[in-house]
Amino acid sequence: MGRVATSPEQPDPRRWRALAVTLAAGFMTLLDVSIVTVALPSIQQGLEASVAGAQWVVSGYALTFGLVLVSGGRLGDAVGRRRMFLIALSAFVLTSALCGAAVSEPMLVFSRLAQGMAAGLLTPQNTGLIQELFRGAERGRAFGMFGATVGIATAVGPVLGGFIISLFGPEQGWRWVFFVNIPIGAVALVLAARLLPAAAPRKRSLLADLDLAGMVLLGLAVGSVLLPLVESEQGGLSSLWWLFVAAAVLGAAFVRWERRMLRRNRSPLLDLRLYTETPGYAAGASIATVYFSGFTGIWLVFAMFFQRGLGYSALQSGLAVTPFALGSAVSAVVAGRLVSRWGRRLTIAGLGLVALGLGTVGVVAQLVPPQQLGYAVALPLLVAGTGGGMVISPNTTLTLDRVPTRLAGVAGGALQTGQRIGSAVGVALLASVFHARINGAGHSYPVALSLAMSCSVGVVLIALVLAVLDHRRQVERGEAKKARSVTGAGPLE
């Protein structure tokens, strides 16, 4: 049995061990976004899968992952984060086993869709539990560890996937990419059941706390945005463009429905006052969405560049981008400890370093012979990764720090939904820019890399402008508040 959550005045003495368990589980779900990419040739060989089917093994996971994030957060708020964590983790372990045991392409794609849904239900519980278990400077440290987990999982996936496939062979290696989740998940389940605090007894029925219509409307809206994006390499943007129009209509209907729920004093799926009344939430969510649009697509670009352009193996390709992961892991932990002192300035500095590092990669690609590029981009990627660690964890802390604990799950889910949409936009954008040059005259991989990096830098700079504007607003609010306290004046009209 789990323990009933302690009061804010009495921090849970086992909170750090509980955090380690939840981060281990979260690491698996994020790892599975990138680790499978390098396994696609192995999947095609082992199952005789089509190119489109193999691509759906990657894109289907991203699609269902993003569909249920907000609903998963709301369920955690309503039924208890420990309960939802255990249910979702159990489902993730089971679906990982089904993926690894798949005997046909349809079975693998279906299992992968279910695995993405389990991951989407699990992920919001991480940020919600951090909100619940930690306060003050400790919360910044916890989010720093969460940010490090995100950075490491994103960048280590290709390396670990390449290592597993080289260890078990190209025909069966892809199965172990999924099977590796089973022992880790089983241990995490046992420890989570012991360490995570149980929710207080419910006072109302579950149905009274769930906005089923809102879940359907938001799920359809998010799906209408994600489907054309995740299918972009198969012509999804040209054939499914009309879904963006449907998404706008569904999004407007969702907003209208949620406002109606608030007027009737019902529990909405997503309390829109998070964006209008919670300081820092709207700005932080916007920065996160734009930043993820700028940087997540670089992993696909680097994989195509190193493997197709330079003939690297999957493992060599992953090792080439490891400096980004190392820089991100270290700086995320350090930034998590400094965010309470430096605030938004950390994000601004981090975005500047990301733009500088990726911009330098683009320049180096034009100046250094292709055979030496793997070594030449190591330092710029380390700089970019150091900046990335200073963006994700501080921004997550600043975005969620003043969210009421009762809304922590849905707020984290909404934040990560924006990140998933941003990731899909970024992958589609950078892959299109890269392919446009490769398919054109000259087939110049270094030029294609430079163009993709320039595009990435441009998007990151937009996030930088948003961060600077938010910092200026914070400074102006602080000065106005100080002036009112000195003069004794009431609120400004």
pLDDT in tens, 77-90: 778 888 899 999 99
Question: 198 phi and psi, to 5 degrees?
Answer: -80, 155
pLDDT of amino acid 343? 84
Distances, alpha carbon 379 to alpha carbons 150, 296, 356, 358, 364, in Å: 21, 19, 11, 10, 11
Is it the case that residue 232 has pLDDT exceeding 70?
A: no
Closest alpha carbon to 412 in 27, 152, 75: 75
pLDDT in tens, 38-79: 777 778 777 877 766 777 787 778 778 877 888 888 888 778
- Cα separation, 384 vs 200, in Å, equals 43
- Per-residue pLDDT averaged across 99-121, rounded? 90
Max CA pair span of the chain:
76
pLDDT of amino acid 111? 93
Residue with tokens 């392919």: 435
Structure tokens at 256: 């209208």
- Cα separation, 342 vs 336, in Å, equals 10
- Cβ–Cβ < 8 Å for 397, 339: yes
Highest mean pLDDT (candidates 21-35, 177-191, 256-270, 306-320): 177-191
pLDDT of amino acid 480? 64
Average pLDDT over the chain, rounded to an integer? 82
Angle at 121 between CA 115 and CA 127, to 5 degrees: 130
Q: Which residue has the higher pLDDT, 51 or 94?
A: 94
pLDDT in tens, 360-399: 999 999 898 888 888 899 999 999 999 988 898 888 888 8
Q: Dihedral through CA 283, CA 284, CA 288, CA 294, nearest 10?
A: 50
- Cα separation, 48 vs 472, in Å, equals 56
- Burial environment of residue 235 by CB neighbours within 10 A (0 to 12, 13 to 18, 19 or more): exposed
- Per-residue pLDDT averaged across 98-106, rounded? 90
Is it the case that residue 347 has pLDDT exceeding 50?
A: yes
pLDDT of amino acid 358? 95
Give the single-character DSSP code of 227. H
pLDDT of amino acid 485? 61
Is it the case that residue 19 has pLDDT exceeding 70?
A: yes
pLDDT of amino acid 490? 47
Rg (CA), the chain: 22
Highest mean pLDDT (candidates 33-42, 94-103, 168-177, 236-245): 94-103
Closest alpha carbon to 316 in 329, 328, 330, 305: 305
pLDDT of amino acid 234? 66
Name the pTM for this structure: 0.81
Residue type, 37: T
- Cα separation, 376 vs 368, in Å, equals 7
Helix (H, G, I), strand (E, B) or coil at 297: coil
Is it the case that residue 265 has pLDDT exceeding 80?
A: no
pLDDT in tens, 399-457: 887 787 777 777 888 888 888 788 778 877 888 888 877 765 446 888 899 999 999 99
pLDDT in tens, 210-219: 677 877 887 7
Question: 36 phi and psi, to 5 degrees?
Answer: -75, -20
- Burial environment of residue 292 by CB neighbours within 10 A (0 to 12, 13 to 18, 19 or more): buried
HSE toward the beta carbon, residue 304, CA cutoff 13 A: 21
- Cα separation, 71 vs 448, in Å, equals 39
pLDDT in tens, 452-463: 999 999 999 999
Is it the case that residue 1 has pLDDT exceeding 50?
A: no
- Cα separation, 459 vs 436, in Å, equals 18
Is it the case that residue 478 has pLDDT exceeding 60?
A: yes
DSSP 319-339: HHTHHHHHHHHHHHHHHHHHH
Residue with tokens 């992953």: 318
Is it the case that residue 137 has pLDDT exceeding 80?
A: no
pLDDT of amino acid 233? 64
Distances, alpha carbon 73 to alpha carbons 17, 61, 213, 373, in Å: 22, 18, 16, 43
